[in-house]
Amino acid sequence: MRSARSSPRTGRRVVRFDLPSSRFVDTDTRADAWAVIGADRALRWRELAQAADAWAQRAREHGFAADVPVIVRGHKEAAFFVAMTGALLLGAPFVPVDTIYPDERLRRIAQTLGARIVFDAAADAFVPLNVASDARHARDDSERCAARPLREKSLAYVLFTSGTTGEPKGVQIGRESVAALADWMAADFALGASPVFLNQAPFSFDLSMYELFGTLALGGTAVLASRQLTARRSAFLDTLARHRMTTWVSTPSFAQQQLLDPAFSQQGLPALATFLFCGEVLPVTLAKQLRLRFPAARIINTYGPTEATVASTSIVVDDALLAQHARLPVGYAKRGAAVFVDRGELCIAGPHVMRGYLNREDLNEARLFMHDGQRAFRTGDLGAVESDGLLFCHGRIDDQIKIGGYRIELMEIDAALRALHGVSSAAAVPLRRPDGSVARIVGFVATGAGDGRLPDALRDWKARLAERLPPYMIPSELLACASLPVTVNFKIDRARLAENYRDAHLKAQH
């Protein structure tokens, strides 16, 4: 990584999980060190190795095998981490689903995978799922089949992200891609020997793969911080201090919230050496505040979509960089990868680019291509590059947004709104702050009536949406209109709806 105070690889042999060979190595060194501090219990490296092995054995008994995807559901339990590691041992791609996703979304994911059994981390058990088998695949489903083997072989995981059709889409990440991620972290991130990671993002958000694969490959420790824990700020910071957390991984939004607490400082977290950010714009103001609170810590801004295994670029954000830019660059392409701008759009090539969306040949055709013999992906991000390769991300070409780092296709919310009773058309409209970040989403539905009031049948709209969407996708307000404005291309005019909303609010204030 350029401009990083890069330290050489430690070369120390410690117990860790070797991704290329998919096994634990050097198991007699530091075997008593903590591997995972779960919300419920903690495991030392020796215990993780035993538990992952036992998990793989149980998974086999339930019909899982290499290339058969296994859904892991839960929230920050040690067993969640064990299951993902056990799946790597078994060669079964894991499909992480946080409990932030409602049951309906889990069912859709299971249906796409043809999965009948889910590993429930809270119960530490494999449980059957009541999913109507997809008719197309009913023939090859035998009774013992936990799920169908995937056509793509040697995947590490499949991560479902918001889809424009209203269905989440499965991003298939190969084992070669996670090995490349771990190599990059080891060679260029200078995280020190056996780093202690904060894991705050749900495992269904690919940012968390930094902590999973960083911990496994570097022989570190992952401190899994549950939503309940992060809501109690002082208990949260105490936990991090107690475990001598060295590497903070989160979206910038999450770090911003912590600044409200004066204890979020170098004094409160003396071991913290690195902030590793990804997932959304890192605001200059936040980076400056962190430099003041944590003068001894490095800040690394990384960028990339789920489709290219967590991140593809990085840069150390130091005082010189902050003095130079009003909007921070996302850095330089990681080793072994090419990141370039094609007709204004950022494109990524390398072994860390996904194998494709599951069962979505239409999207694969549109977004994947070959570049200098490597898999390449069109990101949908607007970008720019300077002559020395320094890259900038300038927002989206399409209707994908970020709220608090969560990735949302507005069309997925539109589809959920359209499914409400008596709604003929619908639009989710992001309301932006002056810096372009999204503050909240307002839903508009056309119900035929022109008085703007929601019909009685829509009183429970929030509860209905919550059956299908995670909380961060649910609009904060729902407004009814006779019809929705359209653009010249007959697409719903979200910009006009946002303007109308602002005008109406301004009028109401005067």
What residue ranges bind ligand AMP (CB under 6 A)? 161, 206, 278-282, 301, 303, 305-306, 330, 379, 381, 393, 396, 402, 407
CB atoms within 10 A of CB 421: 12
**Backbone torsions φ then ψ of 354, nearest 5 degrees:** -55, 160
Question: From the CB of 197, what's the least distance to ligand AMP, in Å?
Answer: 17
β-partners of residue 210 are: none
Between 221 and 309, CB nearer to ligand AMP: 309
Between 258 and 306, CB nearer to ligand AMP: 306
Question: From the CB of 243, what's the least distance to ligand AMP, in Å?
Answer: 26
Between 56 and 159, CB nearer to ligand AMP: 159
Distance CA(26)–CA(11), nearest Å, equals 12
Question: From the CB of 413, what's the least distance to ligand AMP, in Å?
Answer: 16
Between 112 and 161, CB nearer to ligand AMP: 161
Question: From the CB of 196, what's the least distance to ligand AMP, in Å?
Answer: 23
Between 177 and 447, CB nearer to ligand AMP: 177
> Going by C-beta distance under 8 Å and a sequence separation of 6 or more, which residues neighbour residue 263?
233, 234, 237
Between 300 and 420, CB nearer to ligand AMP: 300
Question: From the CB of 332, what's the least distance to ligand AMP, in Å?
Answer: 13
Planar angle of CA 183, 184, 189, nearest 5 degrees: 120
SS3 for 210? helix
Between 126 and 406, CB nearer to ligand AMP: 406
Is the distance from CB of 121 to CB of 74 less than 8 angstroms? Answer: yes
Alpha-helix residue ranges (DSSP H) falling in 262-391: 284-293, 319-324, 361-367
Between 304 and 475, CB nearer to ligand AMP: 304
Q: What's the Cα-to-Cα distance from 383 to each of 229, 390, 392, 394, 508, rounded to whole Å?
A: 37, 11, 5, 5, 38
Question: From the CB of 101, what's the least distance to ligand AMP, in Å?
Answer: 14
Question: From the CB of 235, what's the least distance to ligand AMP, in Å?
Answer: 28
**Backbone torsions φ then ψ of 146, nearest 5 degrees:** -75, -35
Determine which helix (DSSP H) or strand (DSSP E) holds 109, and give its type and residue range.
Answer: helix 103-113
As given in the structure block, the two tokens for residue 75 are: 């929230």
Q: Any idea of the CA torsion for 498, 503, 509, 510, to the nearest 10 degrees? A: 170
Between 95 and 281, CB nearer to ligand AMP: 281
Alpha-helix residue ranges (DSSP H) falling in 114-251: 175-188, 209-218, 227-231, 233-242
- Side-by-side strand order, sheet with 332-333: 42-44, 34-37, 221-224, 196-199, 247-250, 274-277, 298-303, 313-316, 332-333
Distance CA(502)–CA(484), nearest Å, equals 16
Q: Which DSSP letter does residue 149 get?
A: P
Give Rg (Cα) of the chain: 23
Between 39 and 207, CB nearer to ligand AMP: 207
Question: From the CB of 278, what's the least distance to ligand AMP, in Å?
Answer: 5
Question: From the CB of 428, what's the least distance to ligand AMP, in Å?
Answer: 17
Question: From the CB of 301, what's the least distance to ligand AMP, in Å?
Answer: 5
- Here the contacts of 20-27 (C-beta below 8 Å, separation 24 or greater) are 20/179, 22/88, 22/89, 22/91, 22/175, 23/89, 24/49, 24/52, 26/219
Between 182 and 478, CB nearer to ligand AMP: 182
Question: From the CB of 311, what's the least distance to ligand AMP, in Å?
Answer: 7
